[in-house]
C-alpha cells in the first residue's frame, strides 16, 4: 500500500509539468489557390519571366492558358500540341502522375499564334543573377520548345544517381512558385494580402474563374477543366467570382442585346408576296389600316404602350408591315423597348 501511495504522489508532482509543457502549434494552411484578374495574371507571368527565366514562364503560362494542373504541364510532350488539327487542341493523355483526368482541350486561334511564335522564335529573358555576396551579373536566357519529347525535361543525374523521372518535378515547380510568390508580394506590398496564396494551381483557378465570369455554361467549363460530372461542388469552388465579374457580365449581355435590337431595326421587314396578298383579298382577310384588329387597337390605346410588356420588336415590325402601326407609332415602340434594357 505505501508503494501505491508513493507512486500516486510521484505522478501528481509530474502532472503540472506536463500541463505547462508548450503545445505544438498547427502549421498554418495556405488555403485555396488564389485566382487573379487578367491584368494581374499578366503581371505575375512577367514577374516569373524576369525573376526565374523563360522555361518556368512558359510552364506557368500553359497552366493559365488551358487550366492545366502543374503536374500535367510539367509532363507535356511536344506531340501533345496538335496545332494543325481541325480544330487545334492540346492532348492530355492518361499517364501515371499526370493528374486526375485525361482529355482534349481546344486551342483558340490567338493561342495557336502564340504557341507558334514560341516554337519558331523561342522565349528570351534577361535578368540579374547573384554570383556571390559581393557581385551580380546580367544573364540572357533563351528557352526553345523541343521538336519532340518532353517540353520540360528533367535532370538525368542528381547526386551521382540516375533520376527516374524524365520531366521536371512537380515539387520543384511548387517550391519555385512559392519562393517567387513571396518575392512578388514584397514587390507589390499593397496587394500582398490577396497574392500571398499564389500557388501552382492559381493558373487553373484563374482560367476557370475567367470562363465563369464570361458567362460560359457550367457544363462547358466543367468539360474544359476535365472535371467529372459528379464534381460540380469542386468545380464551383474554383470559381472565385466577385461582384466585378457579375457587373462585367451584365454589361456585356446588355451590349449584346442592344446590338441585336439595332440589327433587327436596320433589317427591312419582309413584304408579303403578290400571291399571298391575292389569297388574302379573295378570302376577305386583308388587314387594312382602317380595319385594324383588336390586338392593334389595344396597342394604340395603351398609355404609354403598357400592353407592350410582353411584346418584342419582331412583333412590332410585323404589325408595321401589316399596316397596323404607323411609322411614328413604331418609333415610339422601339424606343420603349430599348429603354427596358
Residue 84, domain member (yes or no): yes
One domain for residues 174 and 44: yes
The number of domains in the chain is 2
**Residues 6 or more apart whose Cβ sits within 8 Å of residue 267:** none
One domain for residues 56 and 194: yes
Residue 97, domain member (yes or no): yes
One domain for residues 127 and 275: no
Cα–Cα dist 337/261, whole Å: 9
- How does pLDDT run across 57-103, given as a tens digit for each residue? 999 999 999 999 999 999 999 999 999 998 999 999 887 755 568 88
One domain for residues 194 and 329: no
Q: Considering the entire predicted model, what is its pTM?
A: 0.67
Residue 20, domain member (yes or no): no
Task: Say what the pLDDT of residue 123 is.
Answer: 94
Cα–Cα dist 274/277, whole Å: 5
Residue 147, domain member (yes or no): yes
One domain for residues 43 and 153: yes
One domain for residues 195 and 279: no
One domain for residues 57 and 181: yes
304: its cell numbers: 404609354
Beta strands of 75-231 (E only): which ranges?
81-82, 89-92, 103-106, 123-130, 136-143, 157-158, 161-162
Residue 3, domain member (yes or no): no
Beta bridge mates, 141: 125
One domain for residues 53 and 185: yes
Domain that holds residue 310: 271-339
- How does pLDDT run across 5-44, given as a tens digit for each residue? 666 666 666 555 455 545 555 555 666 788 888 888 999 9
One domain for residues 159 and 67: yes
Cα–Cα dist 142/107, whole Å: 24
Of the three residues 144, 171, 201, the one that is the final residue of a domain is 201
One domain for residues 194 and 47: yes
Residue 282, domain member (yes or no): yes
Residue 177, domain member (yes or no): yes
User: Mean pLDDT over residues 296-322, rounded?
Assistant: 59
Of the three residues 201, 218, 238, the one that is the final residue of a domain is 201
Query: Which phi-psi region, left, alpha or beta, contains residue 99 (left: φ > 0; alpha: ψ -120 to 50)?
Result: left
Residue 276: pLDDT above 60?
no
One domain for residues 186 and 63: yes
One domain for residues 181 and 282: no
Of the three residues 184, 201, 218, the one that is the final residue of a domain is 201
Task: Say what the pLDDT of residue 112 is.
Answer: 95
Supply the DSSP symbol for 189: G
Higher model confidence: residue 253 or residue 150? 150
Residue 150, domain member (yes or no): yes
Task: Say what the pLDDT of residue 98 is.
Answer: 56
For residue 87, whether the previous peptide bond is cis, meaning omega lies within 30 degrees of 0, is yes
Amino acid at each position: 500500500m505505501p508503494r501505491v501511495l508513493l507512486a500516486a504522489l510521484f505522478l501528481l508532482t509530474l502532472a503540472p509539468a506536463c500541463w505547462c509543457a508548450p503545445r505544438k502549434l498547427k502549421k498554418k494552411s495556405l488555403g485555396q489557390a488564389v485566382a487573379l484578374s487578367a491584368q494581374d495574371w499578366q503581371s505575375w507571368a512577367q514577374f516569373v519571366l524576369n525573376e526565374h527565366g523563360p522555361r518556368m514562364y512558359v510552364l506557368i503560362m500553359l497552366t493559365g492558358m488551358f487550366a492545366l494542373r502543374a503536374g500535367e504541364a510539367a509532363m507535356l510532350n511536344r506531340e501533345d500540341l496538335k496545332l494543325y488539327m481541325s480544330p487545334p487542341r492540346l492532348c492530355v493523355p492518361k499517364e501515371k502522375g499526370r493528374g486526375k483526368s485525361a482529355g482534349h482541350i481546344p486551342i483558340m486561334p490567338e493561342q495557336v499564334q502564340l504557341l507558334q511564335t514560341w516554337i519558331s522564335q523561342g522565349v528570351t529573358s534577361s535578368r540579374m543573377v547573384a554570383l556571390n555576396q559581393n557581385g551580380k551579373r546580367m544573364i540572357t536566357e533563351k528557352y526553345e520548345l523541343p521538336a519532340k519529347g518532353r517540353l520540360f525535361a528533367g535532370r538525368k543525374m542528381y547526386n551521382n544517381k540516375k533520376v527516374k523521372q524524365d520531366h521536371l518535378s512537380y515539387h520543384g515547380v511548387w517550391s519555385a512558385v512559392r519562393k517567387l510568390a513571396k518575392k512578388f508580394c514584397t514587390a507589390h506590398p499593397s496587394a500582398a494580402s490577396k497574392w500571398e496564396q499564389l500557388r501552382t494551381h492559381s493558373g487553373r483557378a484563374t482560367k476557370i474563374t475567367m470562363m465563369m465570369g464570361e458567362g460560359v455554361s457550367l457544363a462547358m467549363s466543367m468539360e474544359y477543366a476535365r472535371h467529372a460530372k459528379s464534381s460540380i461542388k469542386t468545380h464551383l469552388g474554383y470559381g472565385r467570382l466577385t461582384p466585378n465579374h457579375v457587373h462585367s457580365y451584365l454589361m456585356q449581355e446588355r451590349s449584346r442585346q442592344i446590338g441585336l435590337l439595332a440589327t433587327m431595326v436596320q433589317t427591312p421587314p419582309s413584304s408579303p408576296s403578290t400571291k399571298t396578298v391575292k389569297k388574302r383579298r379573295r378570302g376577305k382577310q386583308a388587314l387594312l389600316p382602317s380595319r385594324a384588329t383588336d390586338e392593334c387597337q389595344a396597342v394604340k390605346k395603351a398609355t404609354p404602350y403598357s400592353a407592350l410588356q410582353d411584346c418584342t420588336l419582331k412583333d412590332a415590325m410585323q404589325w408595321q408591315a401589316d399596316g397596323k402601326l404607323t411609322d411614328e407609332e413604331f418609333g415610339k415602340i422601339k424606343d420603349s423597348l430599348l429603354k427596358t434594357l
